[in-house]
């Protein structure tokens, strides 16, 4: 058993440079440390029960807002914009502790993978944002939206 495990790690180690070079994204995203911490805290506070995908999507919403002319242009301003993220208003973001899933979600985002166009989300119990945005898709108990054009 130990030999098989060791052999598996050895093979993975030999293949890693090939895999990582072949899988390089066209563009990676560089996020400052403070902003990365804030992104992870908001993702954990808003979607900690949604797994890596749900947390990554929350991060994508923040990043898409930063890039949009309709929202503030920094991560901090987007997260703390009045009446936008409930966890920023109620203080849950300050108590949120990133988990390994949150770190994986951030790494995926930084690798250049972003769900473009999604600009808002809410619990599927609320369903109040459809008057402002187009419903794009649901993931677990969150609905994600794009801007109405």
Helix (H, G, I), strand (E, B) or coil at 136: strand
In a domain, 53, yes or no: yes
Q: Is residue 95 assigned to a domain?
A: yes
- As for how many domains the chain has, the answer is 1
User: Does any domain span residue 19?
Assistant: no
Q: What is the pTM of this model?
A: 0.81
13 within domain boundaries: no
Beta bridge partners of 134: 146
CATH of the domain at 118: 1.10.10.2520
How do the pLDDT tens digits run along the chain, 149 residues long? 444 433 333 333 433 443 344 444 467 889 999 999 999 999 999 999 999 999 999 999 999 999 999 999 999 999 999 999 999 999 999 999 999 999 999 999 999 999 999 999 998 887 789 888 999 999 999 999 999 87
On whether residue 59 sits in a domain, the answer given is yes
Structural domain of 106: 33-147
Domain presence at residue 15: no
Angle at the Cα of 19 from the Cα atoms of 13 and 21, rounded to 5 degrees: 115
CB contact set of 84 (below 8 Å; sequence gap of 6+): 78
Is there a domain that residue 113 lies in? yes
For 141, the 3-state DSSP assignment is coil
């Amino acid at each position: 058993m130990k030999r098989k495990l060791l052999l598996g790690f050895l093979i993975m180690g030999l293949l890693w440079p090939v895999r990582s070079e072949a899988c390089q994204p066209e563009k990676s995203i560089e996020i400052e440390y403070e902003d990365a911490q804030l992104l992870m805290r908001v993702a954990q506070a808003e979607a900690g029960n949604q797994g890596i995908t749900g947390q990554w999507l929350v991060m994508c919403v923040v990043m898409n807002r930063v890039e949009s002319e309709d929202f503030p242009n920094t991560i901090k301003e987007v997260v703390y914009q009045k009446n936008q993220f409930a966890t920023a208003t109620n203080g849950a973001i300050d108590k949120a502790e990133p988990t390994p899933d949150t770190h994986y979600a951030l790494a995926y985002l930084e690798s250049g993978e972003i769900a473009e166009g999604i600009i808002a989300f809410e619990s599927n119990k609320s369903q109040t944002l459809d008057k402002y945005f187009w419903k794009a898709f649901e993931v677990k108990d969150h609905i994600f939206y794009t801007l109405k054009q």
